[in-house]
Structure 1
């Protein structure tokens, strides 16, 4: 049954299942890179020519609740994520909607996203798990802008739980269609360097969170 925020109970449970079987099973998932305690995989969608990504790993010195708090804090993200051009949350038709503009290297156009998100702290077989879901949301209240390409197909999930020590285990799924013409070298760079760099930035942001609030 779908909630008013646009996410169903099943979607949250499916995201949790990633922690139970972290190595992608079936299909043609490719292990793209192993770095800093993370394994990053990608899967090619032959119909669209686009990739889906999964990342599994741990942050050894970041408690799970803190990691979830940092990820949800949009104001703080503008401090630590250098690719953010604009980022804010506003209420539209009873939903909390996020607007996010991402910097792209010259001469390519920036991309922007309009999406809804939700966080739930669930009990999974006696373990506390933090689940954050996000997906595109179309609304005339936030129109497209000249010179910026609107990403209309975006979905992400983040699942976080304790590693039994001082840190947390993380499972992340990501898919979007950035539109326009993006060189293959940039796609490959983003997957092999951008994703690991983003994960490293999150871990650093967790360590500095309380002193920067």
Structure 2
């Protein structure tokens, strides 16, 4: 009401210069009060106000997972606030910067740490990846249902394939391959031997190992695969590792970030890549009750930079042509290992496996499910909105304090309260 009653008085002035001078006289202290009020609201921050911010920060920090990211609102990312160099904002930014610098220092000190710890912290292939693969094998990942695509069988080899389409991401594939007269160790070595793979996998045109850990068996390899003539070749930077659960081998291969290998225009790099399998002994189909066969359950998806519907059509058309080369390759590998064991031993990194107990994984899942139930049944904890409420009160309070001390007029107070209210609404939206 003060603003409505004051404007007619100004507009009744006949001289334009008088009008402008009156407006300037009103606006100057007004904006000074607004700026100082906002500064007071942000600078004058008692220690108890950090409680909400710290709670929000701790609640939004990501849990160890491969696979999920959580975006956090950082006031230092706003240029206008960053340039003010306000104490608590700068401290908050330094705290985040110190975490990132600490992370970089940890990675630089990996060479001085034990190799196992260094590899676990590098994030190439971790136990979270093992848990994820175990859930896929046990059909406990909670994803969509699988739709069968193929079922081929011959006397010594069979192959079944399924597909599913997640809401976000490329199509996912699951397959079961069955080999007669093959041990899990032989099949494990066969899939891990890049030197021999080029003899049966005609899509692989280049393979190179860039990093190895002799304690965990973790590797970083570079592949270049040949695509049909209408597509350029694709480059893969793959992290891989094997876990041994009593001759049940969980083999993880996935795309990893590896800045040491610069990105090039050609071949095009595939960033999203996942191809992992479980290898285990199986009973022979001859009916003798002997565990002389081997079963491989594979899970695969990748974003090749091709529209997903076209990629699905291409996979469906070319799947059997690629799969039927696997068994002749395995039989040739078996013969080579039997005849030339001295000149072609099993790949060393394939034999470096991390021991794991499947019962522990099952217990971990049961414990995790129980925690989920308890969290769902327990009262909801206060969310991070409490911190925004504290900041809103500080901003409005600072503006009110200055409005009451710097100017007694209704016009200044009305506009200051309006601006403060708009700032409060902005904070609520954020």
Q: Please give the TM-score of this superposition, normalised by the length of structure 2.
A: 0.43
Q: Once the 2 structures are TM-superposed, how far is the Cα of residue 140 of structure 1 from its aligned partner? A: 2.2
**Aligned position for 1:68:** 188
Q: Contact 2:210–2:219 (CA<8 Å) still a contact in 1?
A: yes
Indicate how the Cα distance of structure 1 residues 137 and 9 shifts in structure 2: closer, same or farther if over 3 A, else same: closer
After TM superposition, list the pairs within 5 Å mapping 1:78-157 onto structure 2: 78-91=198-211, 96-123=219-246, 128-157=247-276
Equivalents in 1 of 2:142, 2:150: separation in Å?
17
Q: Contact 2:180–2:293 (CA<8 Å) still a contact in 1?
A: yes
Give the length in aligned residue pairs.
205
Q: Once the 2 structures are TM-superposed, how far is the Cα of residue 191 of structure 1 from its aligned partner? A: 3.3
**Aligned position for 2:277:** 158
**Aligned position for 1:6:** 124
**Aligned position for 1:201:** 325
Indicate how the Cα distance of structure 1 residues 211 and 56 shifts in structure 2: closer, same or farther if over 3 A, else same: closer
**Which residue, 175, 178, 182 being the options, matches 1:55?**
175
Deviations 1:181-208 (A, max 9, x none): 5772x532323532x4444323222211
Local SS of the residue matching 2:278: strand
Indicate how the Cα distance of structure 1 residues 121 and 199 shifts in structure 2: closer, same or farther if over 3 A, else same: farther
Indicate how the Cα distance of structure 1 residues 27 and 56 shifts in structure 2: closer, same or farther if over 3 A, else same: same
Q: Contact 1:75–1:88 (CA<8 Å) still a contact in 2?
A: no
Local SS of the residue matching 2:276: strand
| 2:165 pairs with 1:44 | yes
Indicate how the Cα distance of structure 1 residues 25 and 59 shifts in structure 2: closer, same or farther if over 3 A, else same: farther
Deviations 1:145-192 (A, max 9, x none): 3332110001111101111332201110001100145772x5323235
Equivalents in 2 of 1:181, 1:200: separation in Å?
26
Gaps of 5+ in 2: 1-63, 65-118, 284-290, 337-343, 345-430
**Aligned position for 2:366:** none
Deviations 1:65-124 (A, max 9, x none): 10000001111111111001111111289963111111111121111100110012213x
**Aligned position for 1:191:** 316
Equivalents in 1 of 2:322, 2:292: separation in Å?
21
Q: Please give the TM-score of this superposition, normalised by the length of structure 1.
A: 0.82
Equivalents in 1 of 2:213, 2:142: separation in Å?
39
Indicate how the Cα distance of structure 1 residues 200 and 18 shifts in structure 2: closer, same or farther if over 3 A, else same: farther
Q: Which has the larger radius of gyration?
A: 2
Q: Once the 2 structures are TM-superposed, how far is the Cα of residue 31 of structure 1 from its aligned partner? A: 0.9
- Give the aligned CA root-mean-square deviation in angstroms: 2.9
Equivalents in 2 of 1:192, 1:173: separation in Å?
19
Local SS of the residue matching 2:202: coil
Equivalents in 2 of 1:29, 1:63: separation in Å?
28
Gaps of 5+ in 1: none
| 2:133 pairs with 1:15 | yes
Equivalents in 2 of 1:66, 1:192: separation in Å?
29
Equivalents in 2 of 1:116, 1:11: separation in Å?
11
Local SS of the residue matching 2:313: helix
Quick check: which one's strand share is greater?
Answer: 1
Indicate how the Cα distance of structure 1 residues 10 and 93 shifts in structure 2: closer, same or farther if over 3 A, else same: closer
